[in-house]
Structure 1
Amino acid sequence: MHLPTLSFFLPFRHRTLVWQFARREVLGRYRGSLLGIGWSFITPLLMLGVYTFVFVGVFKARWPGAEQGGGLEFALQIFTGLMVFNLFAEIASRAPRLIIEQPNLVKKVVFPLEILPWISVLSGLFHLVLSCLILLAATLVLRQHIPFTALALPFVLLPFLPFLLGLGWLFAALGVFVRDVAQMMGLAVNVAMFLSPVFYSAKALSAQMQFWMHLNPLTLIIESLRAILLHQQWPDWAGLGLYSLMAMLFCIASGLFFQATRKGFADVL
């Protein structure tokens, strides 16, 4: 088997193509709407407003360890968890269809198919960054300052990138040969929402449950974002280092699998 070169994982040679496709995907999502790309700002802002209304006005909810902020604090905690989960859900849900929805790129054109997960991840990251800006603005309004620990934001999100890319390569290839993967992924994403600390804190669980919860690749990223953006705490650097290593190994293995199976894409499609 021919091993992939570094350009497979870091497609600098195709960076212009990746940028153009990612830009087209972001703009195409809102093409024809009155507000256009403005929906990228409005949607997370409305989400935050809805969560605030529900948890402040209806449930009078309190987040463990942050009772002083009341329901608004609860809304910010959930919004942080949903930012990460929505990015994961977007990549995971689309991955099985990345190749089968582009048969012309497989059959008729010499196209670097490996960049399709990159395009999907960059498009999702664009919306994540906008959500982060809204969260920081809401934090500034609520607490009159943005914590210094927010500077660690890139170091928390960077380890998540190879995991998402690996997810994209793995299920993009599997989706070509096993069409049921797309249907199963929709169910898996819904289950993952409740098995991830989106609507609750992992620290509120028992020690045994926390062990199993941290096997979820979303847990460390969600909890680290909450720590640096809402709790003024530095993340678990050792945990992020181990996460980065495991994510890179998963990414490399998925890339190898994608390249090993791509020769059969045209036959199946």
Structure 2
Amino acid sequence: MKKLLSPASAVLEHRSLTLELAKRDVLGRYRGASFGLLWSLISPFLLLCVYTFSFGTVMGGRWPQIGAGQAHYSIILFAGMIVHGFLAECINRAPLLIVGNPNFVKRVIFPLDILPWPMVLSALFHMFMNLIVFIVLRMFMDHAFSWTIVLLPLVVCPLIVLALGISWFLASAGVFMRDISQVTGVLTMALLFLSSAMMPLKSVPDSYRWIFQLNPLTFIIDQAREVMLWGQMPDWKGLAIYLMVATVVAYLGHAWFTATRKGFADVL
């Protein structure tokens, strides 16, 4: 039974430590800043303004809902950015989880495999703050609110599992290949522009659409918009399949991390 729950067993056993690390991660990011935690609300808003100004006139016309007056491009874009921001934070920070905490590696009793959990919880906190901004902006700009937004945690759940699996892989690889942290920034940018965050999948030429469909963000972004904007039920079957694949990735990632952790101390 313990092997069956191996990716989650450490965090269940060290719940208090995981939550404390997540809290320290969130507060540490804004320590010393004049506006403190308010930056978790200000930053996504400023980023949204930049993207809307840069791409609004070009990409906006591709959304039929904009022409029908159902939503502003800013709101449609922000829904996709919320999902992308979560995965991007996990991918960009994962390679430095072990390298940035060498003191944890030297402590034999410290459960290194819980390190991705506080990072994911921190990313979820920022996702929640972005969601607050989204709700306020939509009520102000579109004068609308979809009750189906309460289903968003179920939509994002498979992505959380996938993020954990990827984080275990990258955390381990970051110890042995330091250049990975230089690549992840480009990777997350590619995940943004090659997903449905910027434009609807139907507007992509058929010859290139498969690239967008293979992007792990595209399906989740589309389902997130269904519940956040259009008031529709998500594709439960698709989410179930996604969750199964993500679970396999999580188990493989944790197994790889466990198998390679013996060499961390020697490299660091």
Q: Is this a same-fold pair by TM over 0.5?
A: yes
- How is 1:122-201 mapped onto 2 (pairs within 5 angstroms)? 122-201=121-200
Letter of the 1:155 partner, please give it: L
Post-superposition offset of 1:162: 0.7
Alignment partner of 1:240 is 2:251:
no
Contact 1:55 1:75 in 2 (8 A): no
Q: Which runs of 5+ in 2 are unaligned?
A: none
Mapped to 2, the partners of 1:107 and 1:249 lie a distance apart of 30
Mapped to 1, the partners of 2:255 and 2:35 lie a distance apart of 42
Q: Which runs of 5+ in 1 are unaligned?
A: none
- TM-score scaled by structure 1? 0.90
Contact 2:45 2:133 in 1 (8 A): yes
Letter of the 1:18 partner, please give it: T
Partner of 1:21: 21
Letter of the 1:132 partner, please give it: L
Partner of 1:216: 215
Q: 1:5 to 1:113 in 2, by over 3 A?
A: farther
Q: Single out whichever of 183-192 and 45-54 deviates more from structure 2.
A: 45-54
Report how many aligned residue pairs link the two structures.
266
Alignment partner of 1:41 is 2:41:
yes
Post-superposition offset of 1:208: 5.0
Partner of 1:82: 81
Contact 1:63 1:74 in 2 (8 A): no
Q: Give me the CA root mean square deviation.
A: 2.3
Partner of 1:98: 97
Post-superposition offset of 1:77: 1.3
Mapped to 1, the partners of 2:220 and 2:240 lie a distance apart of 12
Post-superposition offset of 1:190: 2.6
Mapped to 1, the partners of 2:106 and 2:55 lie a distance apart of 51
Letter of the 2:112 partner, please give it: L
Mapped to 2, the partners of 1:220 and 1:137 lie a distance apart of 25
- How is 1:52-63 mapped onto 2 (pairs within 5 angstroms)? 52=52, 61-63=60-62
Mapped to 1, the partners of 2:62 and 2:121 lie a distance apart of 32
Letter of the 1:124 partner, please give it: A
Q: 1:145 to 1:239 in 2, by over 3 A?
A: same
Post-superposition offset of 1:205: 1.9
Mapped to 1, the partners of 2:150 and 2:28 lie a distance apart of 32
Other structure's SS at 1:170 match? helix
Post-superposition offset of 1:63: 4.5
Other structure's SS at 1:232 match? coil
Contact 2:70 2:142 in 1 (8 A): no
Contact 2:146 2:227 in 1 (8 A): yes
Post-superposition offset of 1:5: 5.9
Mapped to 2, the partners of 1:52 and 1:205 lie a distance apart of 20
